[in-house]
C-alpha cells in the first residue's frame, strides 16, 4: 500500500509538509511554516507537528523541497533537529536553505544535494522526476513520483505562463507526456482556485512599474517578497533604463540577491548597486530602493521608514512607494497601517488595488483545468489552500469528468492510500469485473495482477483510510511547542482585561494579616474615578482571610483559591471586567 499523508498545508495557507510512504521507505515533500494568526499572541512562527516523523524517523530517507518560499522551507531547521537525512532541491532553493542552516549551526552536518529540472533521483522503491514550473520565485519544481502502484504527480506551487524567460516557464509538454504515460493521482495546488481565467502576465506588471517610475520625480521605493527574483530583475532593468542607482535594503533581500546573482538568475553592473549609507548623497530622482516589508512586518525596513526609525531612509514628500506583492491572509491590518503611515509622511503609495503592480504565482481556474486535462489523472487530490479552496478545486475536477468517488478531499493527518485491487475486490456486475474478464480472455495464462496493471485503468484503489497525529507547533523565541492553548488563553485574557496582583503577609499562628493586602494592576487601572475599587476589593480579601481559621490545613491555598473567585466576581459585578488575579500570600 502506498500512503501519502499531509502533515500541513491542507485547510490552511502555509505550513506545507507531506509524507510519501511505501513499506519501509518514507520521504518528505517540503517543510514549511506559517505566520501566526491573530489569536496567537506573542508567537513568532508556526510549524507542523512532527510527531509522526519523529516516531518513524528510522524509515525517513530524504527531504525534497519544491521551491524557496518560507511556507515550503521555513521549518527545515526544526525538521533537521529531529531527522538527519539528505535534502534534495534546486540550486536557488538550496542557497536559501544554506543560509538558514548556518544561522542554526546545522550547515556542517546537513547533506545537501542539488538537482535540476528534468533530472530524476531514486529513493527505492521511488523514482522521482523534477519538472520545471513557473511560480513567483525561480527554480520551482513539480514532482513526478513513480511508485510500485502507479505514477503520482505533485504540482508544487505553480502557474502556467508564457514569457521569454526559459527558467520561468512551466514545462507543460512534460505534464502532457506524463498524462499519456498514465497518472494514477494528481496532487494540485489550490491556492488561487477562486479566481477565474488566467493569471496576468509578468510583462503587464513590468509595464505598470515602468510607468510609475517614469512619473516619479523623487525616490522610488519598492517593497516585495525577497524571493521574487524575476520581479527584482524587472525592477533592475527599469532602473537601468531610467538611470537610477539601486539600493537593496533588508537582510533577506541582500542575502537573496547575492545568491541569485551568484547563480546567474540576476544580472546588473556592479556600479549601479550602492550601499544604503550613500542614499542621501545622491539626488532623489536617481534613487531606487528595493526593500522588505510588503507584509507590514513591524521591524521590517519599510515599517521603520514609514515610522521615522530607519537610520538612513525616512519617507518624505515626493517619494513613491510601491507594494509589489499580495497580502498574506492575516496581514491586512498591518499592511493598512503601513500604507496610512506612508501617506501621513507625504508619499505617493501604489499597491495592487490601485495599479497592476503584482501578479500571483499561483494558477487560476483555467490553468488548473489545463493541468488536470494534461495529466488526465485517475484520482485527484487538491492541496495547498484553505478548506474552501480545496472544496472549490475538487468541484472543478468533477466538472472536468473525474468521478466524484475519485476526488479525495483530504485534510491534515489523513492517510491517502493507494493499493492494487485483488480479484476479490471486483464485485459482480461492476465495470471492474467486466474489464477484468476481458483482459483475462486476452491474456490467457497471465497472472491476474499483471493483466490488470497492463490494461486496466482502474486497477488501483484510492481512498482516505485513516488518520495520523498532526497539528501545529508554536515557536515563541527559543521555545518550541511550550506555548499551547492554555498559554494563549492566558495571554488573551491579559490583553483584554489586564492583571491584578494581590500581595499580603499572614502570621502563621494567629492568622493576622501583617502586611497588605496590597493591589497592583497592569492593564486594569485603578483610576481616580474608580478609586473605591481598591478599598472595596481589600475588604473582600480581608473577609475571606477572617473566614478561614488559623491553623486550618492548606490555609494559604484555600485563601488563594477563594480570593481569586471572589475578586473575579466582584470586579465583573462592579465594572464588567475579568482581569487575571494573581495572589501572592506568604505565611511567617
Name the band, by pLDDT with cuts 50, 70 and 90, for residue 547: confident
Average pLDDT over residues 37-46: 78
Grid coordinates representing 580 are 487575571
Q: What is the pLDDT of residue 429?
A: 42
What is the rounded CA–CA span in Å between residue 71 and residue 341? 28
List pLDDT tens digits, range 248-271. Answer: 998 889 999 999 999 999 999 999
Name the band, by pLDDT with cuts 50, 70 and 90, for residue 482: low
Contact 380, 154 (CB under 8 A): no
Name the band, by pLDDT with cuts 50, 70 and 90, for residue 527: low
Q: Is the pLDDT of residue 16 over 60?
A: yes
In DSSP notation, 123-136 reads ETTEEEEEEE-B-S
Name the band, by pLDDT with cuts 50, 70 and 90, for residue 163: low
Positions marked active-site: 189, 362
Contacts of 330 (CB under 8 A, 6+ apart): 35, 36, 37, 38
Name the band, by pLDDT with cuts 50, 70 and 90, for residue 166: low
Lowest mean pLDDT segment, chosen from 172-181, 395-404, 533-542: 533-542
Mean model confidence pLDDT for the chain: 87
Which of 1.10.510.10, 3.10.20.580, 3.40.50.970, 3.60.15.10 would CATH assign to domain 498-587?
A: 3.10.20.580
Contacts of 441 (CB under 8 A, 6+ apart): none
Contacts of 72 (CB under 8 A, 6+ apart): 16, 30, 31, 32, 65, 66, 156, 157
Contact 209, 221 (CB under 8 A): no
Share of the chain above pLDDT 90, in %: 61
Sequence-ordered strand ranges (E) for 308-356:
320-323, 348-350
In DSSP notation, 102-160 reads HHTT-GGG--EEE--TT-EEEETTEEEEEEE-B-SSSS-EEEEEEETTEEEEE--S-B-
The DSSP element (H or E) to which 506 belongs, if any, is strand 499-506
Contact 545, 538 (CB under 8 A): no
Domains of the chain by residue range: 2-197+361-421+459-474, 202-350, 424-458, 498-587
Q: What is the pLDDT of residue 147?
A: 96
Average pLDDT over residues 42-59: 92
Alpha helices, H only, 406-447: 431-442
Q: Is the pLDDT of residue 431 over 80?
A: no
Closest CA to 502 of 515, 514, 519: 519
What is the rounded CA–CA span in Å between residue 448 and residue 430? 17
Name the band, by pLDDT with cuts 50, 70 and 90, for residue 430: very low
Grid coordinates representing 157 are 506551487
| Torsion on CA atoms 549, 552, 557, 558, rounded to nearest 10 | -50
| CATH superfamily entry for domain 202-350 | Metallo-hydrolase/oxidoreductase (3.40.50.10710)
Q: Which CATH architecture has domain 2-197+361-421+459-474?
A: 4-Layer Sandwich (3.60)
Name the band, by pLDDT with cuts 50, 70 and 90, for residue 394: very high
Average pLDDT over residues 269-286: 93
List pLDDT tens digits, range 434-469. Answer: 544 444 444 343 333 323 333 344 578 999 999 999
Q: What is the pLDDT of residue 17?
A: 98
Phi, psi of 101 (to 5 degrees): -65, -35
According to DSSP, residue 211 is labeled H
Alpha helices, H only, 264-364: 301-307, 332-344
Name the band, by pLDDT with cuts 50, 70 and 90, for residue 526: low
Name the band, by pLDDT with cuts 50, 70 and 90, for residue 40: confident
List pLDDT tens digits, range 84-96. Answer: 999 999 999 999 9
List pLDDT tens digits, range 130-145. Answer: 999 999 999 999 999 9
Closest CA to 436 of 425, 420, 452, 450: 452
Q: What is the pLDDT of residue 558?
A: 87
Comparing 200 with 370, the larger pLDDT belongs to: 370
The pTM (predicted TM-score) of the whole model is 0.83
According to DSSP, residue 284 is labeled G
Amino acid at each position: 500500500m502506498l500512503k501519502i499523508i499531509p502533515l500541513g498545508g491542507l485547510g490552511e495557507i502555509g505550513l506545507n509538509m507531506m509524507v510519501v510512504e511505501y513499506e519501509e521507505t518514507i520521504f518528505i515533500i517540503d517543510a514549511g511554516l506559517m505566520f501566526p494568526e491573530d489569536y496567537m499572541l506573542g508567537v513568532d512562527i508556526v510549524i507542523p507537528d512532527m510527531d509522526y516523523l519523529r516516531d518513524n524517523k528510522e524509515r525517513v530517507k530524504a527531504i525534497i523541497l519544491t521551491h524557496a518560499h518560507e511556507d515550503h522551507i521555513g521549518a527545515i531547521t526544526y525538521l533537521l533537529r529531529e531527522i538527519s537525512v539528505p535534502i534534495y532541491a534546486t540550486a536557488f532553493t538550496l542557497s536559501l536553505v544554506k543560509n538558514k542552516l548556518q544561522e542554526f549551526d546545522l550547515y556542517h552536518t546537513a547533506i545537501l544535494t542539488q538537482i535540476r529540472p528534468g533530472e530524476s533521483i531514486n529513493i527505492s522503491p521511488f523514482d522521482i522526476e523534477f519538472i520545471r514550473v513557473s511560480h513567483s520565485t525561480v527554480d520551482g519544481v513539480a514532482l513526478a513520483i513513480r511508485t510500485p502502484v502507479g505514477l503520482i504527480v505533485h504540482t508544487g506551487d505553480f502557474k502556467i505562463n508564457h514569457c521569454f524567460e526559459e527558467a520561468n516557464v512551466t514545462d507543460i509538454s512534460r505534464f502532457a507526456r506524463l498524462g499519456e504515460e498514465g497518472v494514477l493521482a494528481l496532487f494540485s495546488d489550490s491556492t488561487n482556485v477562486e479566481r477565474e481565467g488566467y493569471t496576468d502576465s509578468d510583462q503587464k506588471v513590468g509595464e505598470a512599474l515602468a510607468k510609475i517610475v517614469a512619473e516619479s520625480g523623487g525616490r522610488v521605493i519598492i517593497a516585495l517578497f525577497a524571493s521574487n527574483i524575476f520581479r527584482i530583475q524587472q525592477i533592475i532593468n527599469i532602473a537601468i533604463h531610467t538611470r537610477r542607482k539601486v539600493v537593496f535594503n533588508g537582510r533577506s533581500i541582500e542575502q537573496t540577491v547575492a545568491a541569485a546573482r551568484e547563480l546567474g538568475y540576476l544580472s546588473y553592473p556592479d556600479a549601479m548597486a550602492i550601499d544604503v549609507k550613500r542614499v542621501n548623497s545622491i539626488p532623489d530622482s536617481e534613487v531606487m530602493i528595493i526593500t522588505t516589508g510588503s507584509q507590514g512586518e513591524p521591524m521590517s525596513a519599510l515599517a521603520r521608514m514609514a515610522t521615522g526609525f530607519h537610520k538612513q531612509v525616512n519617507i518624505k514628500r515626493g517619494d513613491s512607494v510601491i507594494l509589489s506583492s499580495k497580502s498574506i491572509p492575516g496581514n491586512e491590518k498591518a499592511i493598512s497601517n503601513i500604507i496610512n503611515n506612508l501617506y501621513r509622511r507625504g508619499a505617493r503609495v501604489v499597491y495592487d488595488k490601485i495599479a497592476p503592480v503584482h501578479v500571483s504565482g499561483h494558477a487560476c481556474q483555467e490553468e488548473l483545468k489545463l493541468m488536470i486535462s494534461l495529466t488526465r489523472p485517475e484520482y485527484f487530490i487538491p492541496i495547498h489552500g484553505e478548506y474552501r479552496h480545496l472544496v472549490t478545486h475538487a468541484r472543478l475536477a468533477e466538472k472536468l469528468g473525474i468521478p466524484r468517488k475519485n476526488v479525495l478531499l483530504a485534510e491534515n493527518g489523513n492517510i491517502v492510500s493507494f493499493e492494487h485491487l485483488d480479484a476479490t475486490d471486483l464485485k459482480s456486475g461492476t465495470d471492474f469485473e467486466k474489464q477484468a474478464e476481458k483482459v483475462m480472455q486476452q491474456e490467457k495464462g497471465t497472472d491476474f495482477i499483471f493483466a490488470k496493471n497492463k490494461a486496466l485503468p482502474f486497477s488501483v484503489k484510492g481512498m482516505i483510510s485513516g488518520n495520523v497525529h498532526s497539528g501545529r507547533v508554536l515557536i515563541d523565541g527559543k521555545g518550541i511547542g511550550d506555548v499551547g492553548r492554555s498559554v494563549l488563553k492566558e495571554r488573551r485574557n491579559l490583553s483584554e482585561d489586564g492583571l491584578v496582583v494581590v500581595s499580603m503577609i499572614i502570621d502563621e499562628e494567629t492568622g493576622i494579616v501583617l502586611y497588605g493586602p496590597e493591589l497592583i494592576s497592569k492593564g486594569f487601572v485603578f483610576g481616580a474615578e474608580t478609586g473605591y475599587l481598591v478599598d472595596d476589593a481589600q475588604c473582600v480579601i480581608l473577609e475571606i482571610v477572617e473566614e478561614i481559621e488559623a491553623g486550618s490545613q492548606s490555609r494559604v491555598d484555600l485563601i488563594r483559591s477563594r480570593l481569586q473567585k471572589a475578586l473575579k466576581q466582584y470586579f465583573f459585578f462592579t465594572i464588567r471586567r475579568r482581569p487575571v488575579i494573581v495572589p501572592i500570600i506568604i505565611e511567617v
